């Protein structure tokens, strides 16, 4: 069985109001799949009623994210984006922390599972199905277990597209869903953290988690089990 992991911080993504994220996230919370949700106090006050035997909600302070220790080094942060209000340094920190919350959940493991899946808190917004169907899809995730890193990809992983890995977003990986067995996920978390620190220290920037994941995928020996998807229902249907 899987434990689902997610997180949300109220003052990071300026594109959607916290009420919109609440409406999206509560559908994830309504599922009966075991889950651990990391949130700030603002979101906690909105969703605490959803905590139950299947749902652990943990209040965290974003300032404890390890990347804040390197923020003064990011003199070269200048992403190619058409949404500078959204794609900030802090937003990149949150995106790149997905594997750290997976790590924390694996070490905590209140549901005693061997398999874990990260799902973005607002993932519902890319789905075309009804709310009831979305909750059913989340419920079914508890049975989809893989020992290797199960990761959705959009671009062909065998094609070298033209881009600047430090400035342009890459869609080799979809980003909203990644899971697998705890042993491989811990290795993945280690490699992602190492890569983030290296980039912040030597390139003086940071970028989207999907870019970091692709670098790790290219250069580190971890067992992967990629599947084809896009930013729609297939990101879960094909998992």
Q: How confident is the model at residue 181, as a pLDDT?
A: 98
pLDDT per residue over 214-231, tens digit each? 999 998 779 999 999 999
State the average pLDDT over residues 129-145. 96
- Domain containing 55 equals 2-237
At 14, which CATH number?
3.90.550
Q: How confident is the model at residue 14, as a pLDDT?
A: 55
Residue 96: phi, psi to the nearest 5? -80, -5
Does 13 score more than 80 pLDDT? no
Does 15 score more than 70 pLDDT? no
pLDDT per residue over 16-74, tens digit each? 688 889 999 999 999 999 999 999 999 999 999 999 999 999 999 988 999 999 999 99
Which is higher by pLDDT, 6 or 13?
Answer: 6
Count: domains in the chain: 1
CA distance 134 to 31: 9
Residue 164: band (very low, low, confident or very high) from pLDDT cuts 50, 70, 90:
very high
Q: How confident is the model at residue 16, as a pLDDT?
A: 62
Residue 232: band (very low, low, confident or very high) from pLDDT cuts 50, 70, 90:
very high
Residue 12: band (very low, low, confident or very high) from pLDDT cuts 50, 70, 90:
confident
pTM of the model as a whole: 0.95
Q: What is the 3-state secondary structure (H, E, C) of the chain?
A: CEEEEEEECCCCCCCCCHHHHHHHHHHHHCCCCCEEEEECHHHHHHHHHHCECCEEEEECCHHHCHHHHHHHHCCCCCCCCCCCCCCCHHHHHHHHCHHHHHHHHHHHCCCCCCEEEEECCCHHHHCCCCHHHHHHHHHHHHHCCCCCEEEEECCCCCCCCCCCCCCCCCCCEEEEEEEEEHHHHHHHHHHHHHHHHHHHHHHCCCCCHHHHHHHHHHHCCCCEEEEECCCCCHHHHCC
Burial group, residue 167, by CB count within 10 angstroms (0-12, 13-18, 19+): middle
State the average pLDDT over residues 142-162. 96
């Amino acid at each position: 069985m899987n434990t689902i992991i997610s997180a949300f911080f109220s003052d990071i993504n300026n594109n959607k109001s916290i009420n919109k994220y609440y409406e999206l996230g509560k559908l994830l919370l309504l599922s009966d799949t075991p889950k651990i949700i990391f949130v700030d106090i603002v979101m906690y006050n909105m969703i605490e009623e959803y905590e139950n035997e299947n749902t652990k909600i943990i209040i965290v302070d974003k300032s404890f994210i390890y990347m804040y220790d390197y923020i003064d080094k990011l003199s070269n942060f200048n992403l190619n984006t058409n949404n500078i209000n959204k794609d900030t340094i802090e937003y990149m920190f949150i995106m790149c922390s997905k594997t750290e919350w997976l790590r924390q959940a694996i070490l905590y493991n209140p549901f005693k599972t061997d398999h874990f899946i990260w799902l973005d808190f607002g993932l519902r917004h890319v789905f075309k199905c009804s709310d009831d169907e979305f909750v059913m899809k989340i419920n079914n995730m508890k049975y989809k277990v893989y020992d290797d890193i199960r990761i959705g990809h959009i671009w062909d992983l065998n094609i070298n597209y033209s881009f600047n890995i430090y400035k342009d977003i890459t869609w080799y990986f979809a980003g909203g869903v990644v899971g697998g067995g705890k042993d491989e996920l811990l290795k993945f978390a280690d490699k992602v953290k190492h890569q983030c620190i290296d980039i912040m220290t030597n390139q003086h920037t940071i970028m989207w988690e999907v870019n970091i994941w692709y670098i790790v995928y290219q250069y580190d020996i971890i067992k992967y089990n990629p599947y084809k998807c896009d930013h729609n229902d297939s990101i879960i249907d094909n998992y």
